[in-house]
Amino acid sequence: MAGKTDIAPDVSINACAYRRVLEIISSKWIVLVMHVLEDGCKWYGEIARRIEGVSQKMLTQTLRQLERDGLVSRRGHPTIPPAVDYALTPLGESLMEVVRGFRDWTRVYYPQVERAREEYDRRMEAGAL
Amino acid sequence: MAGKTDIAPDVSINACAYRRVLEIISSKWIVLVMHVLEDGCKWYGEIARRIEGVSQKMLTQTLRQLERDGLVSRRGHPTIPPAVDYALTPLGESLMEVVRGFRDWTRVYYPQVERAREEYDRRMEAGAL
DNA sequence: CGGTATCCGAACGGATACTG
DNA sequence: CAGTATCCGTTCGGATACCG
């Protein structure tokens, strides 16, 4: 304990902005749901149908998180059967702009990533012999 | 099967750019490692010390993934004991620019997210009674 | 020093059944 | 329709031990 030299870790990294964004966007479905809501308010069922492979559990969970973070707004209609719709809030829209930056990067550079992967895998395979 | 109405899901979402970026950045440590490498080449040990809470396993795993994706380059030095350093590639730097967009968003808007969460939790607590 | 391999608990996430 | 609750397999990720 006392003998340990106090080379402090870059604490800022622990508390820094990156960790916080990651909490939000690192979930697999968050970005996809936001993308569906990009062009306006949607019913729950429509969101579900538009995102292939999402389970009801994950969709609801994702929408809850987005609502809690103030990124989407939820409106329930007291009809029978009940209907609910979701929309991006202004805060959500502002985040969406940044997310678009990621999408654009991917469109331009993803082929390079794929090539790098193939090359790496070939090198590894060769090295494993 | 045949009886199912063919309401196709928005397939583009499945194959779209977002899924691909998420593969890369949704990992908890990727962005943090990139941040450490932002200002130049670093030894393995230095990266480890700068990121609080990262285990050796996860750091190595993260660096492997970044290397495979062509985002960082790895140089081993055949000294005794061996030393290894890592640096962002040009491709990695280009992604870093987008990542900075997220950091900046967080710096500006995160307080709003925190307030939204507190408000939501208060509403839930009240509703649960 | 910079890994790799193994073990194991914790968390993620899908399938299913039930509710208002 | 839009959830909630439960079960349960899969994956994530830390701790430990060992290798070059």
Residue A11 pLDDT more than 90? Answer: no
Cβ B23 vs Cβ A113: under 8 Å:
no
Q: What is the pLDDT of residues B15-63, one digit of tens each?
A: 678 888 888 888 889 999 999 999 999 999 999 999 989 999 999 999 9
Could A51 and B24 be called an inter-chain contact, meaning their C-beta atoms sit closer than 8 Å? no
Identify the pLDDT of residue A128: 65
Q: CA of A38, closest CA in chain B: separation in Å?
A: 13
Identify the pLDDT of residue A3: 39
Q: Which residues contact A5 (CB under 8 A, 6 or more apart)?
A: none
Residues 40-59, chain A, touching B (beta carbon < 8 A): 49-53
Identify the pLDDT of residue A113: 96
The number of C-beta contacts closer than 8 angstroms across A and B is 159
Could B67 and A13 be called an inter-chain contact, meaning their C-beta atoms sit closer than 8 Å? no
Q: What is the pLDDT of residues A118-128, one digit of tens each?
A: 999 999 888 76
Residue A54 pLDDT more than 60? Answer: yes
Residue B3 pLDDT more than 80? Answer: no
Among the listed residues B89, B47, B99, B119, the one whose alpha carbon sits nearest the alpha carbon of residue A25 = B99
The model carries a pTM of 0.89
Identify the pLDDT of residue A7: 54
CA distances from A7 to B32, B46, B50, B58 (A): 19, 10, 9, 21
B27 C-beta less than 7 Å away from strand D: yes
Q: What is the pLDDT of residues B62-88, one digit of tens each?
A: 999 999 999 999 999 989 899 999 999
Give the rounded distance of the alpha carbon of B108 from its chain centre: 20
Angle between helices B30-37 and B17-25 (to 10 degrees): 70
Q: What is the pLDDT of residues B91-124, one digit of tens each?
A: 999 999 999 999 999 999 999 999 999 999 999 8
Report CA(A74)–C1'(C19) in Å, whole number: 21
